[in-house]
A and B are shown apart, each in its own frame.
Chain A
Amino acid sequence: MNTILELRHVSKFFGGLAANSDISFALEKGMIKGLIGPNGAGKTTLFNCMTGYYPPSRGEILFKGTSITGLRPDRVCRLGMARTWQKVRPLVKMTVLDNVMVGALCRVNSLVKAREIAMEQLEVVGMAGKARVIAGGLPIGERKKLEVARVLATKPELLLLDEVMGGLNPAESEEIIRLILEIKSRGITQMVIEHDMKTIMRISDRIVVLNSGEKLAEGAPAEIVANQEVVDAYLGESNA
């Protein structure tokens, strides 16, 4: 198996609260892995641990075979693992193009080259026409796409998408789904947090389910749907 990222017994405690406890799984190169779970299951915390915002309390994270446990976020990004934010974080006073250029400058020092890379990524997400617009004025759908373009400009090998479809209407979501599949076709591995079950089942190759900070299940979408524990976690235990 061609593993790009491996989590080994990762735990994160906030005081006495275990936001993540003993989570292990591996990501295969080029695949889309869904990460689901009820609110408060620890999905975003896990992303924060993986990208260096929180050092894990216990356990080890291996990216491309080397440990990245405890590395700063900028180092993780430079190694090739990038993330988007659940609550989008555009650089509001800068233009759309400048926003994406900041991402591109992670790899190049030249503004001219950064501008080229940035325009390419804006083409990918279909926002090249908005390059000169100030990012603060964008509606939510375009902010989400900008977030993806910006993170693509850092040339990641592994992309962590934290609810990129949250708050979008069905047409906008459909665009993002197309975008995720396009990114997959470019060989970039993705891990996707999403609440909409229909979507996550459709795009994921494999799914990890978290509940109360623990890994509840892992498997192909069909297996997850059939897993009684998962159903219980979402709908409450049945009395039948």
Chain B
Amino acid sequence: MSIITEIIETLKKTPPARLLTFLALTGALFIFPQVVDSPYALHIMILVFLSVIMGGSWNILGGYTGQYSVGHAAYFGSGAYATMMLMQFREIPPWFGMLAGVAAAIAAGLIIGSICFRLRGPYFVLASIAATEIMRLSALNLKDLTNGAEGILATEIPPLSIGSALITDFSTKAPFYYIGLVFALAIIGVTWLVQHSKLGYCFQAIREDQDASHSLGINPGMYKQLSLTISAAFTSLAGSFYAVYIGFIDPTTVLSLDMSVQIVLICIIGGIGTIFGPVVGALVLVPLSEALRSNLITQTLISAGLVSEESPVGQFLKENLAHAHVLIYGILVVVVILFMPEGVLGFLRKRLAERRSKTA
């Protein structure tokens, strides 16, 4: 009980302006689908929410506890596969599949953690990759269970109803939008709770110096496992959400190294070990990758009159830039990491602090 009163006390101490901004933004996000009708805009927002959940859950383990797992696809895939397998092969609604996914991810986390947490630094990273590869190869080869390389296609999503009242039949994007938003808010809330509790202090102490924290009465093994459990559970939720929303999963997407790296990038680009870092990362990466994929850049250049559509340069860009989106994405990521080692959020904060000290 005292913990709860303490949390309320901490909330009271946060600057009201910041709290109000957060509440206003959240409110605006809840109204957004009523105002904006474009399915494409909703799609982008849903992808942003998905990235926030992915990045936010990695942040608990990687950002706060300092265990750089490059194998979070294992938990993402656990959620995605549990949900889809139960929905397609057993006709169990995704709500229960999602919970099964969380349980599976936590179980996977216990096994992977008990092995990988014996290792530190780069060795932990390698072990986390290896563990996920095992899961990918298993999913690929256990054809009776997972459909192997063919993947699983969702034929129809059972409608959500409470009692006899139909809540939604998932025929539009709006229900996905709200589910994504609620999950994203949940991971932000959990991160806030972690940062403002004993848990956060123990996690960060382990990140800074495992041996020193061990000598101060912290059991690193237990806290690292706890951190992974929280992280895996939310990554699994992201996986379930992705599977139902996209409607198709296979081992090479949801259990791939690409997916693991994607999860890490959201956090690193945004700002590691901060509550809103993953949000910033998602806001930067999702629109960026969408803009590159749909060749918005060439279109903007042409419509701004900088490049003529008929000129050889214009032709070249039109034909090739969209194909090169992965390359450009990669280059931009390198640039951010080189020039903003603390992520976009860290960079902005530093600039703000500098400006403040200049005016003062």
Contacts and interface: CB of A to CB of B under 8 A. Distances in A.
Interface of A: 51, 53, 72-74, 77-78, 82-83, 85, 89-94, 98, 101-103, 105-107, 109-112, 114, 150-151, 154
Interface string B201-243: 1101101110111111111100000000000000000000000
A150 B198 contact: no
Given A74-B217, A77-B215, A102-B213, A110 B204 contact: no
Contacts of A89: 209, 211-212
Contacts of B215: 51, 53, 73-74, 77, 82-83, 85, 151
A73 B214 contact: yes
A188 to B, nearest CB: 16
Nearest to A150: B216
A49 to B, nearest CB: 13
A98 B72 CA distance: 29
B201 A105 contact: yes
A78 B222 CA distance: 15
Contacts of B204: 91, 93-94, 98
A93 B200 CA distance: 14
26 contacts: A72-B214, A73-B215, A74-B215, A74-B216, A74-B217, A77-B216, A82-B216, A85-B211, A85-B215, A90-B208, A93-B207, A98-B201, A98-B204, A102-B205, A102-B213, A103-B217, A105-B201, A105-B217, A106-B216, A106-B218, A107-B217, A109-B198, A111-B6, A111-B10, A114-B198, A150-B216
A98 B196 CA distance: 12
User: Could you say which of B2, B3, B214, B217 has the most chain A C-beta atoms within 10 Å of its C-beta?
Assistant: B217
Contact of B218 (A85, A94, A102): A102
Interface of B: 2-3, 6, 9-10, 196-198, 201-202, 204-205, 207-209, 211-220
A101 B201 contact: yes
Given A93-B208, A102-B202, A110-B198, 7 more contacts: A82-B216, A90-B208, A91-B204, A91-B208, A98-B201, A102-B218, A105-B217
A93 B218 CA distance: 18
Contacts of B214: 53, 72-74
A2 B218 CA distance: 29
Nearest to A112: B6
Contacts of A51: 215
Contacts of A93: 204, 207-208
B217 A85 contact: no
A67 B218 CA distance: 21
Contacts of A98: 201, 204
A158 to B, nearest CB: 13
Contacts of B201: 98, 101-102, 105, 111, 114
B217 A106 contact: yes
A77 B213 CA distance: 10
Nearest to A151: B216
A93 B207 CA distance: 10
A102 B206 CA distance: 10
Contacts of A114: 198, 201
A82 B217 CA distance: 9
A126 B18 CA distance: 34
Nearest to B209: A89
B212 A154 contact: no
Contacts of A105: 198, 201-202, 217-218
B141 to A, nearest CB: 40
A53 B84 CA distance: 46
Contacts of B202: 102, 105
A63 B151 CA distance: 60
Nearest to A136: B208
Given A73-B214, A83-B215, A112-B6, A92 B208 contact: yes
A116 B44 CA distance: 47
A111 B196 contact: yes
B56 to A, nearest CB: 20
Contacts of A109: 3, 198
B217 A110 contact: no
A78 B209 contact: no
Nearest to B223: A74
A110 B209 contact: no
A153 to B, nearest CB: 8
A72 B216 contact: no
Contacts of B196: 111
Nearest to A51: B215
What 9 A-B pairs are tightest by C-beta distance, nearest first? A106-B217, A91-B208, A89-B212, A77-B217, A102-B205, A73-B214, A74-B219, A89-B209, A103-B216
